[in-house]
Amino acid sequence: MAVNIAQASDSPQIAAQLQQQALKQVWENIQPDSCPYSYNFHMHTIHSDGQLKPKDLIDQAIAIGLKGLAITDHHTISGYQIAQSWLEHCQQESPSTPVPGLWTGVEITADLLGTEVHILGYAFDPEHPSLQSYLQGKAPKQSEAQAAAVIVALHQAGGLAVLAHPQRYRRSADELIPVAAQLGIDGVETYYAYNNPEPWQPSPNQTKQVKRLSATFNLFNTCGTDTHGLNLLRRI
């Protein structure tokens, strides 16, 4: 699991490489029902615009039985760092209780085709110099805000880049995804609940369209609840 992978090496670069390899293996097998009970790669804490404390998020993830997750606060990893420490504590306190893998994650505001989009970063080295300007709690500006620059920075840090909720923007997914693919994006958030249904489930029409595009451009499909509230099984 990712929490163990991160501890497996004293080198942040090697740890990031191992995290990336493990995450790619998971994404290769993501299905419409993988989220929210097995995996969840999009959630927020009080360290950006969410309501969950990192410790409460981890407690809930363990209770749900998640196999793996990523906290994707906006422009910060401080919530992830607290969550990682708490997850390690839980693992030490109760070695027999299964705990989920935790990957590094962040959500970065970017400009793509003159449209504000969100790029999710995963499995990166949080100490890498290329990412430091993106982890200061504020959206990037000017050249640093260009999607190409964000994707390059994530790749330089050993991470993976994913276009979040591609059907929520002013421009269509048919316009955005091909350009993002040309810039080197690794995946798209294919399984996403656009209308916040109860219970959570991917929106059928949007999923079909995004999955077609991800297949065309050989991109990974990811899933996430985009939780901002107190329940990891919903967006709000």
- Report the CATH number that the domain containing residue 38 is assigned in CATH: 3.20.20.140
Q: How many domains does the chain have?
A: 1
Residue 229 lies in a domain: no
- Decide: 61 and 45 in contact? Cβ < 8 Å: no
163: in domain:
yes
**CA–CA separation, 106 and 56 (whole Å):** 19
φ, ψ at 79 (rounded to 5°): -65, -40
10 belongs to a structural domain: yes
At residue 10, the pLDDT reads: 64
Phi-psi region at 143: left, alpha or beta (left = phi > 0; alpha = psi -120 to 50): alpha
Inside any domain, residue 231: no
* Domain range for 96: 2-223
Task: Tell me if 191 sits within 8 A of 218, measured CB to CB.
Answer: no
Contact yes or no for 52/230 (Cβ under 8 A): yes
Q: In this structure, is residue 107 part of a structural domain?
A: yes
Q: Could you give the percent of the chain with pLDDT greater than 70?
A: 96
Does 200 map to a domain?
yes
Query: Is 233 inside any structural domain?
Result: no
pLDDT digits (tens, 9 = 90+) for 167-212: 999 999 999 999 999 999 999 999 999 999 999 999 999 999 999 9
Residue 228 inside a domain? The answer is no
